[in-house]
Chains A and B, each alone.
Chain A
Amino acid sequence: MIAASLALATQLVLWHSYRADEEKALEACVAAWNRAHADVQVEALAQPYDGFASKLEAAIPRGNGPDLVIFGHSAIGDWARAGLIAPFDDTLPADAFLDGTVAPLRAGGKLWGVPLAFKSLALFYRKDLVATPPATTDELVAFARKTRATEPPGHYALAYEAGASFYHAPWLHGFGGRLLDDAGRPALDSPGAVASVAFVEALAAEELLPPESTGVVATQLFNDGRAAMTINGPWFVGEIAPGVPFGVAPLPRVSATGRPAAPLVEIEAILMPAHGHDPRAADLFARWLAGPEAAKLRARIGRQTVAARAAWDDPQIARDPILSAFRAQLAATVPMPSSPAIRQIWEPLNQALRKVLRGATDAKSALADAQKRVNEALRPPPPPVPGAPYAVGFGLVAIALAAWTMSRARKGGGVAAMRAQSAAYAYLAPAAVAMVVLVFVPFAVGAGMSLYWHDAGRWTFIGLHNFADILASHDAPITDPLSFWFTLAVTALWTVTNVALHVIIGVTLALLLRDPFLKLRGVYRVLLIVPWAVPNYITALIWRGMFQRQFGAINGLLALVGLHPISWFSRFWTAFSANVATNVWLGFPFMMVVTLGALSQIPKELEEAAALDGATRLQRLRHVVLPLLKPALLPSVLLGAVWTFNMFNVVFLVSGGEPDGATDILVSQAYRWAFTRGHRYGYAAAYAVLIFAILAAQTMFAKKEETA
């Protein structure tokens, strides 16, 4: 009976990336809905945040997406233009939601989502160190100076992620600056923006902020009682150590302008992907989830700062000091811009902030540079070009290639010879077919994208424009860290250094571990492959932490031997070394295992014969073992070089390209264009094709050895 009614029920799938209490709250809401609505059953599927947007962009256009998705409002601009999401009927009651939580969900006169919650930064303070949180920046600075004067070194009034645009935005707005002007153009060099960066520049110069104040450092200092205040969002509550007495307050007013420091606010909304199978049911559920009943559950269980006004009538929610502080902050927030231009802003602004914070330049020139870079990236798309000449050229190349292949085959004896060797083809075919279908075809398609300009799901054929643009390096000089040629040189250096160290360390350890009578040999071997076994995402981040200036283990060791601490990520060579150290640590076990395998094919007799002839251990190594090892290792070394050339995640996670993008390699540039700089897939594809061309050209020189 129940089974029969369930079979007739509509099934809605909801994707979200909530964690912990918010996830529990959402599940409680869904359960409550499912109990009351036998005809519309909802299933909530939790997704990792990393890659969530890309997954949606791949799945929705092909009809594989969910019926509903919970996401921040800033995605709406792109997704609405690309037709990824469907609009709601704009019938939300005017006063049902808190002021400022609905407007960001409208675009082009349509409503694209129903607001669930709002997330912005606010001021967290330790009640044991701060009696009343500062109401103005003057009070804040006075308190910071007093802390510096009276507390032991290493104690700060304020620690927050000062080098990140999102965390700087409150000051930027408070000083009268804006990220985008009314016409949607970046406004990083406006007087207000310059004043805000000059403000943190002064804080850093007076040592009122900790050096290298990343989010992890700020959290650590706050939890240890070495920072009295920090700037963070509702999610930070879970990171505060148990027992720390803390409060939340709105950010202070900027004394110079009298305006409040206004953080960016992201409205978390429930959106309706296009191609859902029952939009009416989805619409009903979306409105219910945003409504008072579900909002109360979300606020109580998930400690969520909910958008539904009625939920705040609940005394338990209204009296919650943390939730109400964020609600108070909401009055002084700026909605996160949702235009594509914003995605070009973060990276240049981050770099400008970091440059200023480490004293390398002043606010005005740093922001002028950043503005120039953003304008460069936002140039209007190149005009479409007719595809016919390209098609003809492509056809001619294909014919030439086919003719060349035929002549090669004929030289090899033609069809008769091939038939005679049919066994060989039978052995080769399964792997070859799989490679062609799953590797070569996708790459050919991907490479084709390099001839297009991508914008919100639309592709315009622009010929070789992307290549010309990259090779001309946006008209930047070759020595500019962002020029293609500079990045290429860094990539080459990165590859050579890593591969050399991988081989030296891997081969040395394998030779040490070769002796069959060595005790504990198995234990050593297993311990030494640990870096290969642990997922490298987490170990790379651990390495980043070890290079941290203030708390990092590396500087701790330097201090032990009486050396000064180093700001690893503020100079090219130290940042590059940190990347290399991490990648060598990650990569030597592979080389060691390969060498162990290769060593086993060297006949013992040869060495024994050499020993009988009186060769010393070193001589045997040099004249017998290494020469025999070389051909066996060569393919692995060459492949290792190719992999290292394309090893983006270490660079991404350890130095993150710092300083100023100088330690980025080609493939990390390609990733930035594809994912963080506003989905310039065509541009990223052009990078990929260039990377491929460079590697292929490089191996043309070495091909004799490699295929011997």
Chain B
Amino acid sequence: MKALRTAGVHAALVVACVVTLYPVLWVIKMALSPTQGATLSPSPLPTAVTLQNFADVLGTHDSAGRWLFGRQLANSILVAGAVTAVGVALACSAAYALSRFRFVGRQTSLRAFFVSQMFPGVVTSIPLYVLLERLHLLNHLAGLVLVYATTAIPFCVFMLKGYFDSLPRELEEAVLLDGGTRFDAFWRVALPLARPALAVTALFCFLTAWNEFILAYTFMNDPRAWTLPVALQRYVGDYSTEWGHFAAGAILVSLPVMALFFALERHLVGGLTQGGVKG
């Protein structure tokens, strides 16, 4: 009975994986194809295989002979990493306040975080451009980091607040009774226990920054300051698209995300009964 059930679970997951990966096979097919055209055919299996597209994308240089791809990968990692750090840090602290304190403006703040997600980006890019210019953050990766972090914060706040709410307060109160400060309670007890929620929010912050293209392009003039999605967009032309390069680039861009998820994945399950309480 148990074996049968396990087999059923595996069967369901395999089906889900096949459906999930089927469209991705086309991306791989186009990336391996020697032409730059988009291929339409029912079969997603590659007919001809070459790694030229990957070599081209990886070897992108600017006119002065500087290695652009490496620089842009470094920018992407730097920006996404900083957004993850800044976003998670600000969101943790805000979520902790919203979960553990009762204060004037608490409901309003919660609502404001939520409401901020309703603004369509179409109207904010020009005002943001002017604002960043005034703050002297135009053409600086720091400007991008701040913009992306504020995009990601509301979700992180809700995710973390929900998690903090579910944690028993007794542990933190014990710290306070033992003469610890509020910050000790936050830093040593609440945060370690919230590991699964931190993993989700970190992944969310990282991806928010990692895949964004239009703001990064608008705010950065120098190709050496671009992130990878902007560089990838170079393969989409006025009249035609270099599908082979674009697909190879898309695969290269998604690999670090998969690696990050693989690293974070075991933290998603931790939970209350394991890990945290012992430490």
B123 A443 Cβ-Cβ under 8 A: yes
Which residue of chain B is the closest to A589 with respect to CB atoms? B20
**A528-B20, A670-B122 in contact; A62/B130 too (CB < 8 A)?**
yes
Indicate if the CB atoms of B20 and A530 lie closer than 8 Å. Answer: yes
Specify which chain B residues have a CB less than 8 angstroms from the CB of A412 in the assembled complex. 103-105
- Chain A: CB-nearest residue to B242: A19
Which A residues from 619 to 673 make CB contacts under 8 A with B?
Answer: 631-632, 635-636, 638-639, 642-643, 645-646, 667, 670-671
Taking the closest CB of chain B, its distance from the CB of A185, in whole angstroms, is: 27
Q: Which of A54, A439, A515, A590 contacts B150 (CB 8 A)?
A: A439
B207 contacts the other chain (CB 8 A): yes
Cross-interface CB contact of B234 among A48, A439, A681, cutoff 8 Å:
A48
Those of B1-46 within 8 Å (CB) of chain A: 6, 9-10, 12-13, 16-17, 19-24, 26-27, 34-42, 44
Taken together as a complex, chains A and B put the C-alpha atoms of A425 and B102 apart, in Å, by 11
Decide: B273 and A603 in contact? CB cutoff 8 A: yes
Given A435-B153, A534-B251, A597-B200, A49-B237 contact (CB < 8 Å): yes
Q: In the complex, are the beta carbons of B271 and A707 less than 8 A apart? A: no
Q: How far is the CA of A533 from the CA of B221 in the complex (A)?
A: 26
Given contacts A435-B112, A542-B26, contact A691 B118 (CB under 8 A): yes
* Number of A-B residue pairs with CB-CB distance less than 8 Å in the complex they form: 378
Query: Is A440 an interface residue, CB under 8 A from the partner?
Result: yes
A122 to chain B, nearest CB (A): 13
B155 at the A interface (CB under 8 A): yes
Contact A62 B223, beta carbon cutoff 8 Å: no
Q: Which residues of chain A in 195-241 are interfacial with respect to chain B, using CB atoms and an 8 Å cutoff?
A: 216-217, 219-220, 223, 233, 235-236, 238-239, 241
Q: Are B268 and A438 in contact, with the CB atoms below 8 A?
A: no
Contact A674 B122 (CB under 8 A): yes
* A93 contacts B by Cβ under 8 Å: no
A387 CB–B CB distance under 8 Å? no
For window 552-598 of A, CB contacts with B under 8 Å fall at: 552-553, 556-557, 585, 590, 593-594, 596-598
Which residues of A35-58 have CB atoms within 8 Å of chain B's CB atoms? 43-51, 54-55, 58
* A242 contacts partner chain B, Cβ-Cβ < 8 Å: yes
**Which of A134-142, A319-327, A517-525 contacts its partner?**
A517-525
Q: Is B115 an interface residue (CB 8 A)?
A: yes
Is the beta-carbon distance between B236 and A48 smaller than 8 angstroms? yes
Q: Which residues of A contact B78 (CB under 8 A)?
A: none
- Chain A residues with Cβ under 8 A from B273's Cβ? 603-605
B238–A431 CB distance below 8 A: no
Residues A603 and B272 in contact in the complex (CB < 8 Å), given A427-B97, A528-B16, A635-B159? yes
> Is A696 part of the binding interface, using a Cβ–Cβ cutoff of 8 Å?
yes
Please report the C-alpha to C-alpha distance between residue A43 and residue B97 in the assembled complex, in whole angstroms. 51
Interface residues of B in 250-279 (CB under 8 A from A): 250-251, 253-254, 257-258, 261-262, 265-266, 268-273
In the docked arrangement, what's the CA distance between A417 and B106, Å? 13
CB neighbours (8 Å) of B222 from chain A are: 45
In the assembled complex, A30 has its CB within 8 A of some CB on chain B: yes
Least CB distance, B86 to chain A, in whole angstroms: 8
Contact yes or no, B122 A671, CB < 8 A: yes
Q: Are A509 and B236 in contact (CB under 8 A)?
A: no
Given A441-B127, A526-B262, A530-B258: A432 touches B119 (CB 8 Å cut-off): no
The verdict on B126 contacting chain A, using a C-beta distance below 8 Å, is yes
Choice from B9, B94, B133, B150 contacting A64 with Cβ under 8 Å: B133
Query: What residues on B are CB-neighbors of A58 within 8 Å?
Result: 125-126, 129, 218
Query: Which chain A residues border B197 with CB–CB below 8 Å?
Result: 597, 601
Partner of B158, one of A45, A220, A636, A670: A636
- B103 near A421 with CB under 8 A, answer yes
Most buried by A among B20, B23, B151: B23
CB distance from A565 to the nearest CB of B (A): 11
Chain A min CB distance to B4 (Å): 13
Asked if B169 is at the interface of the complex by the 8 Å CB criterion, the answer is: no
**Interface residue A5 (Cβ < 8 Å from any Cβ of B):** no
- The answer to whether A600 touches B94, judged by C-beta atoms less than 8 angstroms apart, is no
Q: In the complex, which residues of chain B have a beta carbon less than 8 angstroms from the beta carbon of A435?
A: 112-113, 116, 150, 153-154
- The answer on a CB contact under 8 Å between A635 and B128 is no
Which of the four size classes fits the interface of chain A? 35 or more
Q: Are A443 and B119 in contact (CB under 8 A)?
A: yes
A51-B105 Cα distance, complex, nearest whole Å: 40
Q: Are B131 and A19 in contact (CB under 8 A)?
A: no
Is B54 in the interface zone, CB < 8 Å from A?
no
The reply on A684 being an interface residue by CB < 8 A is yes
Q: How far is the CB of A603 from chain B (nearest CB, A)?
A: 6
Q: Is A460 an interface residue (CB 8 A)?
A: no
Q: Which residues of chain A are within 8 angstroms of B115 by Cβ–Cβ distance?
A: 696, 699
| Contact indicator A635/B158 (Cβ below 8 Å) | yes
Interface pair A601/B133, CB less than 8 Å apart: no
Complex: how many Å from CA A238 to CA B241?
Answer: 10
Interface of B is mostly: helix
Q: Does B93 contact A (CB under 8 A)?
A: yes
A residues less than 8 Å from B236 (CB atoms): 48-50
Please, which residues of chain B bring their CB within 8 A of the CB of A597? 159, 163, 196-197, 199-200, 268
The answer to whether B138 has its CB under 8 Å from any CB of chain A is yes
Cβ of A449 within 8 Å of any chain B Cβ, yes or no, is yes
A471 within 8 A of B: no
Contacts of B101 in A (CB 8 A): 421, 423-424, 427
Q: Is the CB of B128 within 8 A of A442?
A: yes
A434 within 8 Å of B (CB atoms):
yes
Residues of B within 8 A of A645 (CB): 118
A593 and B158 form a contact (CB under 8 A):
no
> Chain B contacts of A538 at CB under 8 A?
27, 246-247, 250
Instruction: Return chain A residues, CB-CB under 8 Å to B223.
Output: 45-47
Q: Is the CB of B40 within 8 A of A220?
A: yes
Residues of A within 8 A of B213 (CB): 51, 537
Which residues of A sit under 8 angstroms from B36, Cβ to Cβ? 238-239
Q: What 0/1 readout, one digit per residue, does chain A (525-553) give for beta carbons within 8 Å of chain B? A: 11111111111111101110110101111
Task: Collect the chain B residues with CB atoms within 8 Å of residue A550's CB.
Answer: 40
Q: Flag if A534 contacts B238 (CB, 8 Å).
A: no
Return the chain B residue nearest A430 by Cβ.
B90
B110 interface neighbour in A642, A681, A707, Cβ under 8 Å = A707
A276 to chain B, nearest CB (A): 14
Query: 8 shortest A-B CB distances, which residue pairs?
Result: A446-B123, A556-B42, A424-B101, A427-B97, A551-B40, A600-B271, A412-B104, A635-B158
8 contacts between A and B (CB under 8 A): A49-B236, A219-B37, A412-B104, A439-B151, A541-B38, A545-B26, A546-B23, A642-B118
Question: Which A residues form the contact surface with B (CB < 8 A)?
Answer: 17, 19-20, 27, 30-31, 43-51, 54-55, 58-59, 62, 64, 72, 119, 216-217, 219-220, 223, 233, 235-236, 238-239, 241-242, 408-409, 412-413, 417-418, 421, 423-428, 430-432, 434-435, 437-443, 445-447, 449-450, 509, 512-513, 515-516, 518-520, 522, 524-539, 541-543, 545-546, 548, 550-553, 556-557, 585, 590, 593-594, 596-605, 631-632, 635-636, 638-639, 642-643, 645-646, 667, 670-671, 674, 681, 684-685, 687-689, 691-692, 695-696, 699, 703, 706-707
Given contacts A432-B94, A447-B123, A632-B162, 18 further A-B contacts (CB under 8 A): A46-B223, A48-B230, A50-B233, A51-B217, A119-B239, A216-B38, A412-B103, A421-B103, A424-B101, A425-B97, A438-B128, A520-B10, A524-B13, A528-B13, A538-B27, A596-B269, A635-B162, A707-B114
